[in-house]
Every structure is written in structure tokens, then in C-alpha cells.
Amino acid sequence: MGESAMELTVKRLSECTLNQAIEAWNKGFEDYYVQIVMTIDAFLARMVAESLSADYSFVAFDGDEPVGIILNGIRTTNGVKTAWNGGTAVAVSHRRHGVARQLLEASIRLYQEEGVSLATLEAFKQNEKAIALYRKMGYEVTDQLVLLESAEAWQPGELPRGDYTVRWSGPHEAARLPFYNANSAWQTGWQSLKDGHTVIASDSEGRPVGYALVKRAYDASGEHVSTLLYQCVTSPDVTDAGGIVRLLCSEVFDGADALRKRAFNLSKTSVCVEVLTAGGFTVAVEQVKMDKSL
């Protein structure tokens, strides 16, 4: 049975109340694969942390009832103006009526008005209906992503031979490296790590050979409780990429043996995933990255 279009009013999130936005979000995700129902405070914090914009996001209404939402952000990375769909949700009662399609159409029109060159999103690998809809809207799968986790002691394996130094810096330092991966998933980009760090490995001559983007979480008493890795990338010039990644991961996870360790939305075929898997990490979530050129 196909979708039957429903007459809706689609408004920019900036024209709606916070209660309307959060009602649409929580209704849409109440039966989701992971728990992402949010309070207003959590919703606002996520909007800011992930560079999402109320002016670029939309809420769908059936009469006065908010029944769908799409969150969007736009930013320029390495000269490419990129839009990210940070979540599309439709209330269970209003699915299969074209609500998501109307939200996506409104978003794509906005992307074009704003001069966006690349639209991107992620979807859970098992969410075949959503992936099929995104394909109809012109998106293509460009990468397979995994979220890895471990609560065991980090097993680094063999570290690279040679005189390497490692230093911690602000997340923006990653963007200045010639081999920075600007095509990574939106949430793993340096702009999304406002309270994170770049860990840079350099060779004996001071040349950067690899970097990691990382964030540490602390509890209310200031205790380090978890470490989250977002990127771990090496220069194309290195001959021992695995060794450099092991060196960086050993620095990132130093002192975190008993803590929760996660790596977020890494490319499934990357050297980093290979190293982390060998070091005791397991796959918790699989997603697809989808892109659309405009």
C-alpha cells in the first residue's frame, strides 16, 4: 500500500514554539531503534552543539497538531557549502501519508536557496524504508559507518618504531592539517567538537603524520567517565598507518582502561576501525552515510 499525500502546513522551526518542536520530535522517535526522546533543554543543547539551525529546520502540522519535524544545519568545510539533515521524524499516527517527503522537499528547496553544494545525512542500516525514501529524493549511499565501543582495557598492539611526539590541541587545529578528512560524517567534524580536542602525532622532524578528534566526558564531581573518538586519520605519506593509529589511540585512551570507550560514525573500511576491532572494540551500531549533490 503506497503513501497517500496529506494536506499539511510546513513551518520553519523558528516560527514554532519550543513545545511544538519537542512534541513533534518525541512523537516521531517514540518507537525508534535507540532512545532519543528529549527534554527542551536537551533539544536546545543538541541544536547548538551540532550547528543545527531553527531557521533551516521545519515542523509539519496537521491543523494545530505538530506531527513531523526535520532538523537541518548548513556550514562550509574546505570551501564546500554543506547541509546536514540531523533528524527526520514523523508521528506514528501520521506515517505513510507523505509527511517525511514534504519535510525533505521543503529542506531541499531551502538548501538550493542557500547555495548549498552538498546535502548529507546518516540513517540506521536497518531502516530500509527511510533509506528508500532518501534514494527517491536523490541521495546515494556513499559510506558505511560504525559506532564501536569497549569497556575493557585498551590493547594497543605493536606501536610504530621511530621518534614520534604527540600533543593535544583545540579541535580547530585538525582543520589546518593538509590531510584533514572534511568528508567525514557531520557530527565527527571539528566544528561539532566545541569542547573536544585534536591529538596530533608528528615525526622526528616535526611533520604531522596523523590526528585524532576526541572528547572526554566528566560526571558532576569532575571525574572522567568516558572517552569518545570521532576521527583518527593518518597522512597519505606514512608507510605504517596502522602503527600511527595505534599510537594515537593509545594516547586518546590512556588512563581510560576501566571507563566506557566509544568511537563514533567511523568509516567501516578505515584503518582506525581495523585497529580498534583488534584492540577489543565491538560494533554497537551500523549506519549509512548518504549524500546528494545540488
Q: What is the CATH number of the domain that holds 95?
A: 3.40.630.30
Considering the domain architecture, whether residues 155 and 47 belong to the same structural domain is answered as: no
Per-residue pLDDT of the chain (294 residues; tens, 9 = 90+): 445 566 789 999 999 999 999 999 999 888 766 667 889 999 999 999 999 999 999 999 999 999 999 999 999 988 899 999 999 999 988 988 899 999 999 999 999 999 999 999 999 999 999 999 999 999 999 999 999 999 888 888 888 888 899 999 999 999 999 999 999 999 999 999 989 999 999 999 999 999 999 999 999 999 999 999 999 999 999 999 999 999 999 999 987 778 899 999 999 999 999 999 999 999 999 999 999 999
Q: In angstroms, rounded to a whole number, what is the distance separating the alpha carbons of residues 283 and 146?
A: 6
Q: In angstroms, rounded to a whole number, what is the distance separating the alpha carbons of residues 294 and 187?
A: 21
Considering the domain architecture, whether residues 104 and 151 belong to the same structural domain is answered as: no
- By the 10 Å C-beta count (0-12 exposed, 13-18 middle, 19+ buried), 214 is classed as buried
Q: How many domains does the chain have?
A: 2
Assigned domain for 163 exists? yes
Assigned domain for 132 exists? no
Assigned domain for 122 exists? no
* Residue 186 domain boundaries: 147-293
Considering the domain architecture, whether residues 204 and 107 belong to the same structural domain is answered as: no
Assigned domain for 172 exists? yes
